[in-house]
Structure 1
Amino acid sequence: MTEWATFVGLTGVVTVLLLALSHASQEALDTDPEAEPDVELSSGLLLANVALSQGLLLGVLLAAAWYTEVPLEALGIGAGLTGMGALAAGTVLGIGLYLGSELGGAAAGRLGFEYDEGLRELLAPDSAGGWAILLGLVLPVIAFFEEFLFRAALIGAVAAGYGVSPWLLAVLSSMLFAIGHGAQGNTGILVTGLLGFVLAAGFVVTESLLVVVVAHYLVNALEFVVHEGLGIEWT
């Protein structure tokens, strides 16, 4: 028998922990030129921190889903769009979201709104091995964890367990998703919130976790490769 309340409660705890870690990271990465940093953060240290913290939180969520017997279908696994169809849909959605994000950021910049890219620049590797770790480990962990939390758990499980409208949950989870990216500045929060809602809509329509994980990964990977790897700026 599924213990919905236990799973939703643990999901809430993980969400609060993630937002607290995001706020702490935002303060630690304060780029105020007047401030003297307490520690010098390397890209390798930051990558390890991200992979470890989000990997641990993902492990908690997966263990909670198993322990409480949440149906895989409620989490978008083995239901809805699957296989090559899900991969194709995720690829199209991811490329579209990447282009929309870039155009939105460029438009905001032209209008005088700041879009803080400091965190991405700090995470950018300076070696081939670092790029392999980023693209092959860190970004997949981030994409799977954030989609499992903000889409599968906060939308799929809550809708299945309590009959709440998935579209209402899509709005609420997207707001939390945006708040969790506060290090990107106010404009970044707005753009991320819109991106999060499109991902949420993709999850609701396709009922597939794989679709949104692929899309999320492509958005992040393309941003790193295009900006930090190739040095291309849309502005």
Structure 2
Amino acid sequence: MTRWTAFVGLSGVVLALLLGLARLSEAQFSSTPEPAARTPDTPSAPEDTGPATTTPYHPAADHDPGLATPERSPVADREAVTAMSAGTLLANVAISQGTFGALLVAAAVWASVPADALGLVPLVTPATLALGVALGVALWLASEAGGRLAERWGVAVNEEMRGALAPRSRVGWAVLLLAVLPTVALFEEFLFRAVLVGAFSTAAAATGVPASPWLLAALSSVAFALGHGAQGRAGVVATGTLGFVLAAAFLLSGSFALVAVAHYLVNALTFVIHEGLGVDW
């Protein structure tokens, strides 16, 4: 039981670190504020008095030379981040989530967490693959419909991070679809469904702690939504709903493979349709 306790504690640490990184991403990719409206006190542009003299641009000309250089603005910080290559951003995502995932798997093996509690028995079957594909396509369609409704109702849908992660070459797309997105799906499903729902339910039953698997599914879905705050309010709601559906599918099927395949398809279809094919409904 001591190892189980350590496993639960380590899972909490991984979750906290993941949410902390997500919070940093949210700050970097938050929506760019609108420029301030001109007021009557704002000096207007001078009237045209003749041919303009062409002057080489210099950044210092943007502010009064008698004033101190202004501090770097949050908008400039976001522009610097989004200017990073897609490859660098994809590498950061793959390395961070791959490291967290490997740590959790090693901890689960060390703590002797039953494979069936994690949804790994059986590991994969044709039926689970087929159901995972069907669920993934259905969830993607529901997500697209929800996004369009959110935009109609004036709820912000922030797609800046997705655009920054979109590859610019065929090799980049291969890396995204065959390495990065599978890593993301496997890690997030292992943490939010296999561990926080499956393993924690087994741990609660073993210790006599009253914890309903459906309550754990709801709580894990809230954490899942908070980890996607960079997608805006609509993205948080959609991700939380997606997370609960995946948790319900995990509880009903007992299959990690099913929810991992569904999760991967939702992400892959979103990137391919919008960033690869440039489709905008």
TM category (shorter chain) comes to: over 0.9
Which residue does the alignment assign to 2:236?
A: 189
Which residue does the alignment assign to 2:202?
A: 160
Residue by residue, what CA displacement relative to the aligned partner does 1:112-152 show, whole Å, maximum 9, x if unpaired? 11111111111000100000000000000000000000000
- Aligned residues of 1:55 and 1:141 also touching (Cα < 8 A): yes
Match of 1:91 among 109, 112, 133: 133
Distance 1:113 1:31, change over 3 A: closer
Scaled by the length of structure 1, the TM-score of the pair is 0.95
Q: CA deviation at 1:165?
A: 1.4
Structure 1 residue 216 corresponds to structure 2 residue 253 = no
The one-letter amino acid of 2:189's match is: E
Question: Residues 14-163 of structure 1 correspond to what in structure 2 (within 5 A)?
Answer: 14-32=14-32, 35-37=75-77, 38-39=80-81, 40-79=83-122, 82-163=124-205
User: Following the alignment from structure 2 to structure 1, what is the Cα–Cα distance between the partners of residues 110 and 156?
Assistant: 44
The one-letter amino acid of 1:58's match is: G
Alignment size in residue pairs: 233
- Aligned residues of 2:31 and 2:158 also touching (Cα < 8 A): no
**Off by >3 Å, runs of 4+ in structure 1:** none
Match of 2:226 among 157, 161, 179: 179
Residue by residue, what CA displacement relative to the aligned partner does 1:189-234 show, whole Å, maximum 9, x if unpaired? 0011001100000000000000000000000000000000111122
Residue by residue, what CA displacement relative to the aligned partner does 1:148-182 show, whole Å, maximum 9, x if unpaired? 00000000001011122111111000000000000
- Aligned residues of 1:87 and 1:211 also touching (Cα < 8 A): yes
Residue by residue, what CA displacement relative to the aligned partner does 1:62-91 show, whole Å, maximum 9, x if unpaired? 110011110111100014x84001101100
Q: CA deviation at 1:2?
A: 7.9
- Say what the alpha-carbon RMSD is for the aligned residues: 1.5
Task: After superposing the two structures, state which structure 1 stretch, 211-220 or 109-118, moved more.
Answer: 109-118
User: Following the alignment from structure 2 to structure 1, what is the Cα–Cα distance between the partners of residues 213 and 116?
Assistant: 14
Larger Rg: 2
User: Following the alignment from structure 1 to structure 2, what is the Cα–Cα distance between the partners of residues 21 and 113?
Assistant: 24
Report % sequence identity. 54
Q: CA deviation at 1:28?
A: 2.6
Which residue does the alignment assign to 1:228?
A: 275
User: Following the alignment from structure 2 to structure 1, what is the Cα–Cα distance between the partners of residues 277 and 186?
Assistant: 25
- Aligned residues of 1:2 and 1:70 also touching (Cα < 8 A): no
Greater helix share, structure number: 1
The one-letter amino acid of 2:118's match is: L
The one-letter amino acid of 1:208's match is: S
Q: CA deviation at 1:30?
A: 3.8
Gaps of 5+ in 1: none
State the SS of the aligned residue for 1:116. coil
Gaps of 5+ in 2: 34-72, 206-210
User: Following the alignment from structure 2 to structure 1, what is the Cα–Cα distance between the partners of residues 132 and 264?
Assistant: 9
- Aligned residues of 2:157 and 2:233 also touching (Cα < 8 A): yes
